[in-house]
Structure 1
Amino acid sequence: NVPVASYYGETFKSVGLGRCLQKAKEMIGWDEKYPVRDMGNGKVRAVGGALAMQGSGISGVDQAAVEIRLSDEGTYNMLIGATDMGTGCDTILAQMAAECLECDVDRIAVHGVDTDVSPYDTGSYASSTTYVTGNAVIKTCETLKNKMIHLAAEKMDCTDEEVIFEGDRFYVPDSEKEITLETLATASHFNRNDVMSASESFSSPVSPPPFMAGMVEIELDKATGQVEIIDYAAAVDCGTPINENLARVQTEGGIVQGIGMALYENIQYRADGAMINNSFMQYKIPSRIDMGKLRVEFESAYEPTGPFGAKSIGEIVINTPSPALANAIYNACGVRLRELPMTSERIKMGMLKLEK
């Protein structure tokens, strides 16, 4: 990845957008299906695509702090201020800590957020948790490791530089000096003025953007303007995915939300200001049967400023459905819609105007 000039004076250090575009085209079969095919039954099938970029936290604004404590059993307690809203950040941050501390992830206990006692975090918003809080986790682990190594050196009567940390033990090469993590943890709670706990914060001067290519195939009924989604292919560059399974389901969920915003969800008010569609009987959201086929692939691009090369994925995934569907509808019937939701009524009315 060659650094290229970007927005607000920043420089992109990881760009997988070109590969995302190529991957999405292959997934959807773009060259064979573009722009439209007549199905011979009053319906046509068309494809449309869109590209998007977002950000990883708000540079110079977002801040996250993390505290990690070594318990007397040789496990770790991690306190964070970012709330897991279903994105899996508790798992992802625990994975990062486990990687840094060279232990199994089940030895990292993540404590739920309580603003009275949790370290400060700007919040789970702005695509920030993996990037901003993740970097805070790495900094905290390094500080804690150095403190543990210093204590291990004290117990083994050697210098810090001689000690090797190997997850469950500390040792000095070419000697019999060794102390287990559990023994060190127990020793850290007796006759000491330095508890084995560390806390660090992180704020970034940059916001490396993730990229996404989204392509959709629709079937449009020319008699009614009704749109049915046949296939949606997404290729995402979120840096190096920390947990690909969680990243995939988060992408799928964001695409479904984007489809709902594009085709179904509509807020309407009466003249007196009361909302008309104030229940799910009137306010329509898509279900699984409305989705057709939904496929997600990742085109990793290592981000040097991110934790283990990661960028964000929280918001990028909702950005492509609306423009991709608008382009597919245009290719299908020539109607260019610029207002959401793109209902069958608006599509049909646009088609009638074109016929005049």
Structure 2
Amino acid sequence: MEEKEYEVKKRGRGRVVGERVVRTDAERKVTGKAIYGYDYGTIARRRFDNLLFTEILKSPHAHAEIEKIDTSKAEKVDGVVKIFTHKDVPDVKFTTAGQAYPEPSPYDTKILNEKVRFVGEPVAIVAAESKAAARKAANKIKVKYKKLPAVFDPEEALKSEVKIHEEGNLVDEIDVKVGEPEKSLKDSDVVIEREYTTRPQKHIHLEPHASVAWVDAFGRLAIETTNQVVFHVRRILARIFGKPEKDIRVRTWEIGGSFGDKQEVTTEHYAALVALATGRPTLVSFTRAEEFVLSRRRHAAKLRVKLGSDKEGNLKAAHIDVISDTGGYGTHGVTVTSNMGTMTLPLYTKTCENLKFTAKIAYTNKIPAGACRGYGTIQGGFALECAMDELAEKLGIDPVELRVKNAIEEGMVDPFSKVLSEAGKIIPRKIASCGLTETLEGGAETFGWARRKKQSKETSGAKKRGVGVASAMKGSGVPGFELSSASIKLNEDGSIFVSIGAEGHGGGLESVVTQIAAETVGVDMDSIRVVSADTDITPHSMGAYASSATYMEGNAVRKAGEELRGKIISRAARMMEREPQDLDIAEGEVYLKENPEESVTVKEVAMDAVYGETDKAQLEGFGTAECIMSPPPFTTHFVEVEVDEETGEVTVTKYLNLTDVGTPINPREVEGQIEGSIAQGMGFTLFEEMKFDEEGRLTNPTLSTYTIPRSVDVPEIETRLVMTHEPTGPYGAKSVGEVCIVPPAPAIANAIYDATGVRIRDLPITKEKLKKALKSM
């Protein structure tokens, strides 16, 4: 054997992780072979000859009591099977939020409520033989409402005598501090206090929600759905319908995008209700317009920021105060709002451990908010990063220099984690990997920050140029709450099945898991098949959310793969009459380290395990992963904008990000996640806003009226990965899914100020809003 070949085998593992491999799901998706949950509505029509279709009657009022519902005329429509109102549903309150138990969101809703709290809230469900019959019947239902005063502003809601829920309009409040923030602010040489606001944003995933439910041959409730948290869905449905979890099966197909909107019970409880009551399979699917009112949106927030520093720019104290709008129901309200402080304040704590975070989460008579990419960090990050620039200006210090001076570093403990984390579970978080300073300093050099900033001051005419910077940190899973499990088994032909309880929703989880399994066991990616997200056959997982997929599922798969690898080597050692410690695996072969020519294939080991003469065994491994540290990824973004002062038009002309995600499993996928985050963040910054009229009705519930970035609106994005190694992550990896959605808003806002001298603190920064501000200068 040639020396070169020997070296390849000697390295063994290390051929897959870190490589720009083609995603395992790429071919079936681009060729249209992938089956998405929404597709299952079409499949169900062929599979079930007695499929029921549904239509949801929605409230025209933002706040009203239902006094009477007359369904008599609707019931006479040909094809109608059953109509459900609030009198026909279990008298059980629950939360639709797909979160770990005990859920931090309030139990404040039923399948159908006797009181409506937003325009579009479901009032009745019609089940019929056809969609047309269901729609026709829904239009014949007569509802008598007692209209109540509505409150749409969260600050007004907290003061109002109008009670949206029986307990009042305050969902919860947060008041925590570390150190002596009040004293430190008072003693600071320079203090700024600013107020910022963010608006609701819709997720705009391409695939709408859909579920099919039926009662199987064993009397069990079965559900096929578009959902990223199938085990949470099973638990919530068990509570609603009083069933043991063994009598409920929830599985998902591929998910056509989510951004958090499918971390929720959204269609499943409606489909289950009808299927259990009628004994017939039932389809519930949303139109695009229904997506806007029946699913979730981002929490709007008003944030007040106080920063105090000495004359040199060393931060001494920071305080963020928030009023958050959770809409008609409190799903995810507490945890999203918590992240506005806990995921942002630790960023600049090199010299500052005097932190305060206060917040109130308010019910309003708007469409409920929920999980949305960034999960609170995007609102808090906008406020903090704009405030850092405003502090830098007051100090006369360059914004990059101010950030470098205060940036958290490796080895430090996130001071805020000592007193609060998401949902209040306190787990001090030591920063074991951190490339934040490198993203700032390296980014400034690559971008040509000093040169571009100087040039922006020299522009003249109607079109002005400016530059901006912003940084962010996030997490990898929810500390103290996450659990992922994985099983991996060897088939007799040497192929491998990997089973995980989470389903990816666009980020390439299947591919990442395949890479990690191949790397760990020592086989090719082509020999691996991944099965995911089926409560009957896959091990438990909290799901793919909170930037946890690669970190949590990856760790579980790595542990399962190590166990299987050990069993393969032990079996091979017996076959080869060698000691296990003398063997290794690479490229599907178990070989003697000292002489790689002496080897057996993994297939031969598998055949011996199943069909050998003695000690037959199924070779498999099992691994679990728990999130303790939730290691943060870090990122810094540099932007250049051109502002037309006559029209208010903002064009992003250059975009650079440097991002620390630890060791990337697949750099190509990481870059794709980053670019998608930035595009979505640009929409949040410049275009997207859910607009409501004075009655609380959403006025732009279509893709023709709700503006999202087009390809021509997004510049070429330059991405540079800062390589660190996270010791708690699979092969050194951290998360990437959410962190890069945070900086676009403050970076662009800071650049607009640099170009025009106009500071917009209210998102989105539309051209109309900017033009008006420019004229008022």
Normalization by structure 2: what TM-score? 0.44
2:695 to 246, 261, 272: 272
Correspondence for 1:31: 450
1:82 aligns with 2:502: yes
Q: Quick check: 1:20–1:236 contact (8 Å CA) kept in 2?
A: yes
Rounded Cα–Cα distance in structure 2 between residues aligned with 1:173 and 1:334? 67
Match of 1:183 in 2: 604
- Asked whether the equivalents of residues 164 and 171 of structure 1 are also in contact (C-alpha less than 8 Å), the reply is yes
| Cα separation, 1, equivalents of 2:522 and 2:651 | 49
In structure 1, the residue matched to 2:515 is: 95
Task: Give the CA deviation at 1:293.
Answer: 2.7
**What CA distance in whole angstroms lies between the structure 1 residues aligned with 2:591 and 2:738?**
45
Change (3 A) 1:171 1:222: closer
Measured after TM superposition, the shift of residue 123 of structure 1 is 1.0
2:440 to 2, 8, 21: 21
How many angstroms apart in 2 are the aligned matches of 1:174 and 1:301? 33
* Contact preservation (8 Å) 1:48, 1:217: yes
Q: 1:26 to 1:161 in 2, by over 3 A?
A: closer
- Considering Cα pairs closer than 8 Å and 6+ residues apart, tell me whether 1 or 2 has the greater RCO: 1
Match of 2:631 in 1: 208
| Number of the residue aligned with 2:411 | 3
> Secondary structure at the residue paired with 2:610?
coil
What corresponds to 1:141 in structure 2? 561
- 2:662 aligns with one of 213, 227, 239: 239
Deviates more, 1:39-48 or 1:124-133: 39-48
Shift of 1:279: 0.9
Aligned residues: 354
- SS of equivalent residue, structure 1 residue 189: helix
SS of 1:198's equivalent in the other structure is: strand
Rounded Cα–Cα distance in structure 2 between residues aligned with 1:14 and 1:174: 36
Alpha-carbon deviation of 1:71? Answer: 0.9
Report how far residue 280 of structure 1 moved: 1.5
Cα distance in 2 between the residues matched to 1:114 and 1:210: 30
Partner SS, residue 22 of structure 1 = helix
Unmatched tracts of structure 1, length 5 or more: none
Aligned counterpart, 1:290: 713
1:114 and 2:534 matched: yes
Aligned residue number for residue 156 of structure 2: none
State the shift of 1:127 in Å.
0.6
| Aligned partners of 1:167 and 1:181 also within 8 Å | no
Aligned-pair CA distance for 1:112:
4.0
Report SS of the residue matched to 1:308: helix
Distance 1:120 1:157 in 2: 38
**1:101, 1:167 within 8 Å by CA — same for their partners in 2?**
no
Shift of 1:23: 2.7
* 1:326 maps onto 2:734 in alignment: no
> Which of 28, 52, 62 in structure 1 is aligned with 2:482?
62
Secondary structure in structure 2 of the residue aligned to 1:259: helix
Where 2:683 maps in the other structure, the secondary structure is: helix
- Distance change in 2, residues 1:73/1:44 (3 Å): same
The CA distance in 2 between the partners of 1:69 and 1:16, in whole Å, is 37
Matched residue type, 1:140? A
Q: 1:281-332 CA distances to partner (integer Å, 9 max, x unpaired)?
A: 2110111111123211111111111111111101001010001011111112
CA deviations on 1:193-235 (whole Å, 9 max, x unpaired) are: 6311222111021111000001111111112222111111111
Q: Describe the SS at the equivalent of 1:146.
A: helix
Q: Which amino acid aligns with 1:90?
A: E
Q: 1:310 aligns with which of 733, 758, 761?
A: 733
**What is the identity, as a one-letter code, of the residue corresponding to 1:139?**
K
Q: Is the 8 Å Cα contact of residues 686 and 763 (structure 2) preserved in structure 1?
A: yes
Offset of residue 348 of structure 1: 2.2
Alpha carbons of structure 1 residues 164 and 15: separation in structure 2 relative to 1, 3 Å? closer
Cα displacement string for residues 62-109 of structure 1 (whole angstroms, at most 9, x for unaligned residues): 111111110111111111122121111111111111111122211111
Structure 2 CA distance for aligned equivalents of residues 46 and 19 of structure 1: 23
Root mean square deviation, CA, Å: 2.1
Tell me if the contact between 2:485 and 2:624 (Cα under 8 Å) persists in the aligned partners. yes
What amino acid is the match of 1:185?
A: A
Separation in structure 2 between the aligned mates of residue 281 and residue 289 of structure 1, nearest angstrom: 17
Say which one has the larger Rg. Answer: 2
| Aligned residue type for 1:301 | T
Distance 1:110 1:292, change over 3 A: same
Structure 2 Cα separation of the partners of residues 232 and 158 of structure 1: 57
Give the one of 246, 251, 260 matched to 2:674: 251
Distance in structure 2 (CA, Å) of the matches to 1:166 and 1:48: 48
Conserved? CA contact 1:53–1:211, under 8 Å: yes
Q: What TM-score results when the alignment is normalised by the length of structure 1?
A: 0.93
Q: Which amino acid aligns with 2:501?
A: G
Is the CA contact (8 Å cut-off) linking 1:77 and 1:110 kept in structure 2? Answer: yes
Asked if 2 retains the 8 angstrom alpha-carbon contact of 1:24 and 1:215, the reply is yes
CA contact (8 A) 2:524 2:587 kept: no
SS across alignment from 1:133:
helix
State the alpha-carbon separation in 2 of the partners of residues 178 and 292 from structure 1: 52
The more displaced of 310-319 and 95-104 is: 95-104
Distance in structure 1 (CA, Å) of the matches to 2:630 and 2:479: 5
